[in-house]
Structure 1
Amino acid sequence: MFFPGYGYHGTSFEQTYRCYPASFIDKPQLESGDKIIMPPSALDRLASLHIDYPMLFELHNAAAERISHCGVLEFIAEEGMVYMPYWMMQNMLLQEGDTVRVKNATLPKGTYVKLQPHTKDFLDISNPKAILETTLRNFSCLTTGDSIMVAYNNKKYYIDIVETKPASAISIIETDCEVDFAPPLDYKEPERPQPSAPSSSTPIHGAEVEPPAEPKFSPFTGIGRRLDGKPSKHPTPDSLPMKGPTMATNGVKPATTNNSQASSSKQTAGKLVFGSSRSTAAGKEAQKGQAKEPKENSSKTEESKFQAFTGKKYSLKG
């Protein structure tokens, strides 16, 4: 069926109107919900159709390919015009006087909706759940991808509809709907403190790191100097022998090996000779030499070992 002048046809309602914000007819209460104001001719057409109540509509902006859903508050607009909340026009990318397609729709009752505030300020409200419940009482439906506006304490909060179930558009009239919140768009996770570098005593993989060895203190090491200015007979630490008393100190040359012992060693090289007269004589002479100078050999051995505060005494008188 076709109604001349209005463009109505078929068994469903579908009409194109020019949209304007609610401020044009002094209806500020429209801004707190999702309902629009339509002309009286739309009511006549809807009354002749078998449609579900409450009346829900699909809004389509063909120029921007945006689709949303809404309810209706009154039928008092001028013919060919509709008035809607300004936040809804922003959501639909509509300007004053743009055309919008309005079509009746049937939506399932919602069971789940996920919301995401634009800013963290909404979470600072003392009771955001109560404020949201009060605001959604003025809404008829929710559509995934829309951004609704919540007004509280002279401030506007925008919230995205992230997800709806059981469909992408749901009715929230007289239904129990589970509400979930996603982190706000400007939310940033706190930075985790970086672990400090392990100290030298901290075990790594079950093993302890040993600190570097400190140099040991060696007492009475250095260069000796005489009080009378004469050169010291004691050698410097650099000239001291590293191992064994094989080098004599105090300027005394090391004792040489007995000539007889050297000659006997040459004679018996590679063989062991028992009862040799030469070796016996050489052994006796060595014993005599050791008996004559036992004190000198013992003093040389003791002098080869460095001991603190040992040496000869000198008089300052010379």
Structure 2
Amino acid sequence: MYFGNYGIPYSSAPFEQNYRCYSASFIDKPHLENGDKVVMPPSALDRLASLRIDYPMLFEVHNPSTLRTSHCGVLEFVAEEGMIYMPYWMMQNMLLQEGDIVRVKSATLPKGTFVKLQPHTKDFLDISNPKAVLETTLRNFSCLTIGDNIMVAYNNKKYYIDIIESKPANAISIIETDCEVDFAPPLDYKEPERVTPPPVSVPAQSSQDATPPPEPEEPKFSAFTGTGRRLDGKPGKLSTGSIPSTSSTTPTATTSSVQKPTGTPPAGAQRPGKLVFGGGSSNAPAAAKLPSTKKEEVKEEKKEPEASKFQAFSGRKYSLRD
């Protein structure tokens, strides 16, 4: 396919022509897959030489059937007339099949200052130095267009990367320019699920760590709460917490403690070996015959309940002869 009026210069008109596209495998140039450059026929070079275009040469490629558009550079002008050879990944981006018609038009693109890339898989991030690999690969590219899916070959493996943002335009030139590059999370990246930590169980305290039970309080001292003891061995009459009784029992004299009078007993007197209960006249002589020590003992015993306070060593001594 040739231009009409060939040889007449069109200095102000852009270059625009339709070609049938084929992949790089048809021309036996596999290195085309590592960049975005195409191979055009020699007639295109003659046409471009007569036009005022910017160098390096950049082109806009458009698929009329799908309305997909991209941009590329040119590597050589050795293709057959009416044909163009382009990387297979570019044909996939534009949804082109072998032999489809593509429109090629000269373009002028601004130098890029920023581009944001998004790998398809997380494998690209596993490369030891992805920045160096990307810089080496992009040397074979002339321009980048938002929506394109470029291919990066490294270590016998192909990595596909989407162009999701570029500045200052949707299509930029990356030839001899300082361009800032940013990466978006890969398409297959998933946020790690937040794992709720299990509740921490407090271990049971061992017998050593257990808090010892409180010690019982020592009983408070209370003075004079013991039981009183008599020095003569007889049971005491007062006990702890008891109220002393005011009643006292008068000891009864036995026949052994009564001295037998000598001679004839007077009238109404007690007969030997007999005890008389009742009768006021017979009690007086009996009481009179008691030894003086016994009478004092009776008096002291009557007075003991009246003393409410304990007096140590206040008893009286007794003789076994009594």
Q: TM-score range by the shorter chain?
A: 0.5 to 0.7
Please state whether the residue corresponding to 1:3 is helix, strand or coil. Answer: coil
1:264-314 Cα shifts (integer Å, max 9, x gaps)? xxxxxxxxxxxxxxxxxxxxxxxxxxxxxxxxxxxxxxxxxxxxxxxxxxx
1:215-241 Cα shifts (integer Å, max 9, x gaps)? xxxxxxxxxxxxxxxxxxxxxxxxxxx
Write the distance in 1 (CA, Å) between the matches of 2:54 and 2:168.
19
Write the distance in 2 (CA, Å) between the matches of 1:116 and 1:4.
46
Aligned to 1:3: 4
1:226-262 Cα shifts (integer Å, max 9, x gaps)? xxxxxxxxxxxxxxxxxxxxxxxxxxxxxxxxxxxxx
Using the size of structure 1 for normalisation, the TM-score is: 0.60
Please state whether the residue corresponding to 1:18 is helix, strand or coil. Answer: strand
Write the distance in 1 (CA, Å) between the matches of 2:188 and 2:6.
50
Determine which of 116, 119, 125 is the counterpart of 2:118.
116
Aligned to 2:229: none
Determine which of 143, 158, 164 is the counterpart of 2:166.
164
Write the distance in 1 (CA, Å) between the matches of 2:117 and 2:160.
10
Write the distance in 2 (CA, Å) between the matches of 1:197 and 1:64.
58
Aligned to 1:155: 157
Write the distance in 1 (CA, Å) between the matches of 2:157 and 2:31.
15
Please state whether the residue corresponding to 2:124 is helix, strand or coil. Answer: helix
1:168-213 Cα shifts (integer Å, max 9, x gaps)? 000000000000000000001111112546989xxxxxxxxxxxxx
Please state whether the residue corresponding to 1:130 is helix, strand or coil. Answer: helix
Determine which of 78, 81, 85 is the counterpart of 1:79.
81
Aligned amino acid, residue 93 of structure 1 = L
Using the size of structure 2 for normalisation, the TM-score is: 0.59
Aligned to 2:52: 50
Q: Return 5+ residue gaps in structure 2 as ranges.
A: 203-322
User: CA 1:78–1:4 in structure 2 vs 1: closer, same or farther (change >3 Å)?
Assistant: farther
TM-aligned CA deviation for residue 117 of structure 1: 0.2
Aligned to 2:148: 146
- Paired residues, what number? 199
Larger helix share, 1 or 2? 1
Write the distance in 2 (CA, Å) between the matches of 1:111 and 1:160.
17
Aligned to 2:180: 178
Please state whether the residue corresponding to 1:103 is helix, strand or coil. Answer: strand
Aligned to 1:63: 65
Asked if 1:13 corresponds to 2:15, the answer is yes
Please state whether the residue corresponding to 2:109 is helix, strand or coil. Answer: coil
Q: Could you say which structure has the larger radius of gyration? A: 2
Please state whether the residue corresponding to 2:181 is helix, strand or coil. Answer: strand
RMSD: 2.1
Determine which of 132, 135, 142 is the counterpart of 1:133.
135
Q: What are the residue-to-residue correspondences of 1:1-318 with 2, within 5 Å?
A: 3-4=4-5, 11-194=13-196, 196=198
Aligned to 1:256: none
1:64-87 Cα shifts (integer Å, max 9, x gaps)? 110000000000001100000011
Write the distance in 2 (CA, Å) between the matches of 1:174 and 1:198.
60
Q: Return 5+ residue gaps in structure 1 as ranges.
A: 201-318
TM-aligned CA deviation for residue 141 of structure 1: 0.1
Aligned amino acid, residue 46 of structure 2 = D
Write the distance in 2 (CA, Å) between the matches of 1:139 and 1:199.
60
